Amino acid sequence: ILDFQDIQGFILTSYAGNMPCANYLLLKINEAAACRKWLKEISGSITTGVDRKSDFALNIAFTVTGLAALGFKEPDLQTFSVPFQDGMSTKIRQQLLGDNGDSDPGKWAWGNDTNPVDILLLLFAKDETELALQRKKIDDGIAVNSGVKLVTALAAGRQPDSKEHFGFLDGIGQPVIEGTGREAKQADRTGHATVVKAGEFILGHENEMLMPDPLPAGPGLPDFGLNGTYLVFRQLEQHVHKFWQYVREAAPADPDRLAAKIVGRWKSGAPLTEYRDKDPETAPAVNQENNFSFAAKDLDGFGCPVGAHIRRTNPRDSLFDDPEVSLRTLKRHRIIRRGRSYGDKSADVFVDDGKERGLHFICLNSNIERQFEFVQQSWSNNPSFSALNNETDPLIGPRNDGNVFSIQGCPARTRVHNLPEFVTTKGGAYFFMPGIKALQAISG
Ligand code: N7H
């Protein structure tokens, strides 16, 4: 059983149900001793897995430069995951993630060499008033402390209908962490018992290979990483008008159907594998929306195309010929998604109103290479995923390796061409979210 007291609450819950308002503060460390003093002040307020707060939650994570500024040195830093040591904006990670053209880290608003960040502070509140109140306390604390300065503050929300900017219900397909005592409840809520060993998401615990991922160490702290996790943050701008204009032009008779084929679910969240002809409009019974598999019912992709976003990012039982082997392998490549939308909802999805909107994509995993980067590189960006050709993820993929999307069907397959990029990376970083004891140890 997991030590909830030592695990930051954000690993166990998104807080989305009762805390729809969020601010993400990106900070730079000016001076280590003063920063430690500030960390000590706030560490008592960090929300843990046992806190049952419903008004406000606070969580914290660090980049590799942040840990270095706090006194972490080699060889301890080498015990961290390689992508974390590199940083998301470095050349090698850029190539691997496909951040080219408009998504080039050189153009990012934050997380690159021009605007590096050391600390991420995540604030969640029940409403905007509470958020402003808590934010002021944090801002005041930073103002009197010379150790940290604000690089940028990002706001995020949850649309009232839980739909993201393209118009789809989000946050459905999630793994369930083993050992929380909430497995049965969570599995029942989604109808799909993808219970995954805690070590895939929380360091220091058994993972799906029955051995833990390496435990990062800190100065005098060999088990610094215990109960921590890696947090991937990407600010992904969504070009909503481009998406809907493209879809309307390519499929004038039924744009909603093509949009659903691209995602792999209808706007309501109903899976295409189960609901082939049209959106049942009201979402399927909540506990059934995740209860489907591809190999058993939709091997050829006649419902959900084999290259659709949800099939690439979680191929379920269809990765290999043997569904059991697929499901077992899949458990090594899951991520917990904790993203929220930012920016105003489009008044008219077909019109470019010149405003930026998108997804503050956040995911949690114990091994960035095997989980987040693998999903992005080997599945989403892979032009030959599932024997396809010249195609990348039709929703989020870069297009230099392909701009076609095949829709399998009977009697014939159809293809749409010249897909533009619907998503642009605007900032990002790899963070480490420590356990509570580790946080207390580094704040002194
Ligand atoms: Fe995706 N979207 O809102 O349209 N995603 N995603 N994603 N995504 C999913 O099942 C979206 C992104 C995954 O278990 C749904 O919750 C958008 C990245 C995974 O069946 C929708 C962006 C990565 C799943 C979206 C974006 C992933 C998933 C269906 C970027 C990882 C679960 C609702 C702006 C590298 C699959 C749901 C499963 C589902 C959207 C990005 C991964 C609607 C707009 C970068 C693992």
Does residue 222 share a domain with residue 193? yes
What one-character DSSP code corresponds to residue 210?
S
Does residue 203 share a domain with residue 79? yes
Task: Tell me the pLDDT tens digit for each residue of 53-100.
Answer: 789 999 999 999 999 999 999 999 999 999 999 999 999 999 999 999
- The C-alpha atoms of residue 103 and residue 237 are separated, in whole angstroms, by 10
* Atom 14, ligand 1: residue with shortest CA distance: 173
Task: Tell me the pLDDT tens digit for each residue of 326-374.
Answer: 999 999 999 999 999 999 999 999 999 999 999 999 999 999 999 999 9
Does residue 242 share a domain with residue 192? no
Atom of ligand 1 nearest to the CA of 359: 34
| Domains of the chain: total | 2
195 is a domain residue: yes
What is the share, in percent, of the chain residues with pLDDT greater than 90?
85
Does residue 263 share a domain with residue 187? no
- The verdict on whether omega for the bond into residue 222 sits within 30 degrees of 0, i.e. cis, is no
* Atom 13, ligand 1: residue with shortest CA distance: 313
Beta strands 358-365 and 340-342: pairing type? antiparallel
ipTM for the assembly = 0.99
- Where the chain has pLDDT below 70, the residues are 158-160, 187-193, 286-287
Does residue 150 share a domain with residue 29? yes
229 is a domain residue: yes
> Which of 196, 235, 237, 395 to probe ligand 1 with, by most ligand atoms within 8 A of CB?
395
Specify whether the CB–CB gap between 240 and 143 falls below 8 A.
no
> Which of 310, 341, 371, 393 to probe ligand 1 with, by most ligand atoms within 8 A of CB?
310
- The C-alpha atoms of residue 117 and residue 16 are separated, in whole angstroms, by 25
Does residue 228 share a domain with residue 84? yes
Does residue 126 share a domain with residue 25? yes
Q: What is the mean pLDDT of the chain?
A: 94
74 is a domain residue: yes
* Atom 7, ligand 1: residue with shortest CA distance: 313
Range of the domain at 390: 238-426
Does residue 186 share a domain with residue 57? yes
- The C-alpha atoms of residue 53 and residue 157 are separated, in whole angstroms, by 18
> Which of 262, 317, 337, 424 to probe ligand 1 with, by most ligand atoms within 8 A of CB?
337
Instruction: Find the residues whose C-beta lies inside 6 A of ligand 1.
Output: 164, 166, 168, 170-173, 236, 238, 263, 265, 309-310, 313-314, 335, 337, 358-359, 361, 372, 375-376, 380, 395-396, 423
Per-residue model confidence (pLDDT) at position 146? 85
Does residue 436 share a domain with residue 316? no
46 is a domain residue: yes
Q: Which residues are CB-neighbours of 441 under 8 A, at least 6 positions away? A: 218, 221, 224
409 is a domain residue: yes
95 is a domain residue: yes
289 is a domain residue: yes
Does residue 226 share a domain with residue 347? no
169 is a domain residue: no
Per-residue model confidence (pLDDT) at position 54? 83
Per-residue model confidence (pLDDT) at position 192? 60
Does residue 119 share a domain with residue 264? no
Does residue 71 share a domain with residue 60? yes
Per-residue model confidence (pLDDT) at position 288? 74
Per-residue model confidence (pLDDT) at position 120? 98
